[in-house]
Structure 1
Amino acid sequence: MYKPRRDDRRLAHRRFPAPARGRTFRIPAVGADVVLVGYFSAKQKDFETVMASAATTLAAHGAQVVAQIVQRRGVSDGGARKMGLPYSSRTLLTYGKVREVALRCEETDAAAVVFTTPLTGRQRRTLTAMLGRPATSISDVLTAG
């Protein structure tokens, strides 16, 4: 007998409302609070400079960086062994780091989350749904400005 398949209730298979496609994120208003997130490998030693530069760029575009979070990959022995494996193609970050970003967004009442690395459309939609606020990359902010 054919039995219809039930809707899968797992987060990975849920359909989230997609933001308008083709639109880039614009900082909602002058002085909008944003959380800046950086994703760096252990080989990149100047990540603090990149984060400071991104914060300065966002400030020039009218945003106020209220928190900075860094995900470093391959720093520990266990992380170095897993460098060839992706963290999560859906979120770019580990799930613990996504929870940390979400908590920081709630604490600071941030309007958006800006990543220093480019995000795919799927990552952007997934992170926006998980964090409850727009997630975008700094390159999208610069092209929209």
Structure 2
Amino acid sequence: MQQNRRRDRRPVRRAGPDREPSPAAPALEGADVVLVGFFSGRQKDVASVMDAAADELSRRGARVVGRVVQRRGVSAGGAAQMSLPYSSRTLLSYGKVHETAALCARTRAEAAVFLWSLTERQCRVLTRMLGVPAVSLDTDTDEAA
């Protein structure tokens, strides 16, 4: 007699020796980086926030070679969903991830620095998708202190 198998069951991924380790945050001193920000469509001071982050990175010795801005909430429907990321894996839309990857490749950036906190999983996924280490600006600040 055949057992009924549930089709929606997927194998659970567990941390183990076969899983790749979390990427270590690269030293930003002397590195070329791409700065990535996620903002509400209603936020008007996007340029000043990005400039302040670029200044912080240049104080640490990094050189910002590109900037990417993901806007959310420009439409009425988007404004209602502003608290939710586009994707729980990347926080960005997939088109914006591909745009960022192309910018990293074109500028030969050594890292992509995100303005918000990234989870370990998001760092791993973004690093794989972008081809360069993905780090969070505030996480790197905590490690540097």
The range that moved more, 67-76 or 51-60, is 67-76
The equivalent position to 2:21 in structure 1, one of 18, 21, 33, is 18
Map of 1:132 onto structure 2: 131
Question: Would the alpha carbon gap of residues 16 and 33 (structure 1) be closer, same or farther in structure 2, given more than 3 Å must change?
Answer: farther
Asked if 2 retains the 8 angstrom alpha-carbon contact of 1:24 and 1:144, the reply is no
Query: How far apart are 1:47 and its partner, in Å?
Result: 1.6
What amino acid does structure 1 have at the position aligned with 2:41? A
Q: Which gives a bigger RCO, structure 1 or 2 (Cα 8 Å, sep 6+)?
A: 1
**Cα gap change, 1:110/1:84 in structure 2, threshold over 3 Å: closer, same or farther?**
closer
5+ residue gaps, structure 1, are 3-7, 9-14
Partner residue of 2:7? Answer: none
May I ask how many residue pairs the two structures share in their alignment? 132
Aligned partner of residue 91 in structure 1, secondary structure: coil
Structure 1 residues 16 and 79, CA, compared in 2 at 3 Å: closer, same or farther?
Answer: farther
Question: How far does residue 77 in structure 1 lie from its aligned partner after superposition?
Answer: 4.7
1:5 aligned residue = none
Q: Tell me the residue number matched to 2:108.
A: 109
Instruction: Report deviation, 1:81.
Output: 5.4
SS at match of 2:27: coil
Bigger CA radius of gyration? 2
SS at match of 2:65: strand
Say what the alpha-carbon RMSD is for the aligned residues. 2.5
Runs of at least 5 residues in structure 2 that lack an aligned partner in the other structure: 4-9, 11-17
Contact 2:36 2:69 in 1 (8 A): yes
Please report how far the alpha carbon of residue 105 of structure 1 lies from its aligned counterpart in structure 2 after TM superposition: 0.3
TM-score in terms of structure 2 length: 0.79
